[in-house]
Amino acid sequence: MQQSAKLVIIAIIMHTFSGCAWMRPHDPVAANIDRQIMITIGVADQQPVHLMGYRGPDNASAQQSKPWINVKKIARFIARKYALKVISIWPIEALGIECVVFEIKDDRTTAQVLAALSKETQIESMQTISSYRLLAYNDPYFHLQNTVTIDGLEQVHEWATGKGVVVAIIDTGLDTRHPELQSKIVYKGNFVAHDQQQFDDDEHGTAVAGVIAATANNDVGIVGMAPDVKLMALKACWHEDNGSSSRCDSFSLVKALVKTLELDPDIVNLSLTGPPDSLIARLIKQASEQGMIIVSAVDQAVGIKHSFPANMLEVIAVTAPPIGHADASYGLSFLAPGMDILTTAPGSGYTFESGSSMATAHVSGVVALMKEKDPALSGEGVRRLLSHTARVWDTLPVVDVCAAMMQLNEELVCTSSAVVQVTHVGGNLFVE
């Protein structure tokens, strides 16, 4: 399938804050920056508000016990009254205020709107939006990572980075000496009897590990989805045909899974697929019962129904573009970025990889972020949350890390900046 048929993604990230100290960048569309204004509303030590249009609860006892201001209602009231659109709301607890960004709907100037808003006594301060150069990650290839820049990962990482979460990668070996990965490895085991000498030079596992966990702000390379996770590297697969393909067998996978049950990580990444195996299925079920979250790849050629272990109820199934449009069963899996993914390569290098393996690693990283903030999340809980917050294209749920994380933290306002188009060519769906 021609690469030119790939879906086009336009990602715009705006980083603007004037007057709100160093709060995280929640701002949305940079193209409309000259049409946006920001106000602050004081919320500390305030009495309940009983103003028409933004009234608090009527429960008197609740009001007396907890003075408060409903900033969301105030913002909606102001938006209706002055023909504005609410873009984002977030608190600055240290200052006892909340910031609200509005966009002007008509042809009025920002000065005219600010003059009109000056009559509102609930507004503490107001200003236009200024643009600042973001001093973001110092990893030089970060700007090439479309999968992280479009998902507002910098915003998410100010709240969660996967700290305290352990991901087991059952795959080929991986480059444990890579500067992006060497500090992450807490376990290394080789379960391939005939390939004991090969581990750090294996490509596939290295690529998967980079997508999940590449170190942030280390002045080299890229940034992983969950850059503070710890990794367990379990080699159950090996490269063959001069590295052009890789494979595993049931025995090596069983040995690796048995060790995984003993190690008890939070997440198990299985960027692999093959024929059904009852023993492997039993081990995966046991891992799920122990509380592990298993993420596995769908074979794009056959769909989820014929992809094992992705078709197990205990597994979060992930696929990547392009996929066969005719197979409606793909709606049972999650779609994630998997085309031309920049990731780590053996020998401290970097490479672009494509396929469901990379999409699976992407989702494992997302799950690690979720687990950091809610360690009690089960596999089924993760599935429900991802489903509830997914962007849906042609019945396919597309993982949205911003939306998922915002469900876990009402104070986080994260903007997924991707504008997605779906293109069907030759019976295949391209989405990225």
Task: Please check whether the domain covering 142-418 is classified as CATH 3.40.1640.10.
Answer: no
Six-digit token string for 54: 């933004």
Choose the catalytic residue: 288, 357, 364, 417.
357
- As to burial, measured by CB atoms within 10 angstroms (0-12 exposed, 13-18 middle, 19+ buried), residue 351 is middle
Measured CA to CA, the distance from residue 205 to residue 135 in angstroms comes to: 31
pTM, two decimals, is 0.66
3-state secondary structure of 151: coil
Q: DSSP characters for 200-234?
A: TT-HHHHHHHHHHHPPSSSSSS---SSTT-EEEEE
Q: What's residue 240's pLDDT?
A: 76
**Which helix (H) or strand (E) segment is 167 a member of?**
strand 166-171
Does the annotation mark 204 as catalytic?
yes
Closest to 293 measured CA to CA, from 220, 367, 241? 367
* Rounded CA separation 251/30 (Å): 53
3-class SS of residue 146? helix
Catalytic residue from among 171, 195, 202, 400: 171
Q: Residue with structure tokens 């093959």? A: 274
Instruction: Classify burial at 193, counting beta carbons within 10 Å of its beta carbon; exposed 0-12, middle 13-18, buried 19 or more.
Output: exposed
CA 130/CA 111 separation, integer angstroms: 14
pLDDT of 3 reads 41
Measure the CA–CA gap between 78 and 126, rounded to whole angstroms: 13
Nearest Cα neighbor of 211 from 340, 392, 390 is: 340
Question: In angstroms, rounded to a whole number, what is the distance separating the alpha carbons of residues 102 and 87?
Answer: 5
Catalytic residue among 26, 204, 239, 362: 204
The predicted structure's pLDDT at residue 93: 65
Residue ranges, the chain, pLDDT below 70: 1-33, 44-69, 90, 92-95, 129-151, 241-244, 322-331, 394, 415-432
Catalytic residue check, 171:
yes
Active site residue 357: yes
Asked if 233 and 188 touch (Cβ cutoff 8 Å), the reply is yes
- Helix or strand or coil: residue 330? helix
Q: What is the pLDDT of residue 171?
A: 93
Name which of 360, 165, 170, 364 is nearest 258 in CA terms.
170
**Whose structure tokens read 């977030």?**
90
Instruction: Could you please state the CATH topology (level 3) that the domain comprising 17-128 is classified under.
Output: Alpha-Beta Plaits (3.30.70)
The per-residue pLDDT for 79 is: 92
Could you tell me the two tokens for 8? Answer: 């086009």
Domain spans, the chain: 17-128, 142-418
The three-class DSSP label of residue 282 is: helix
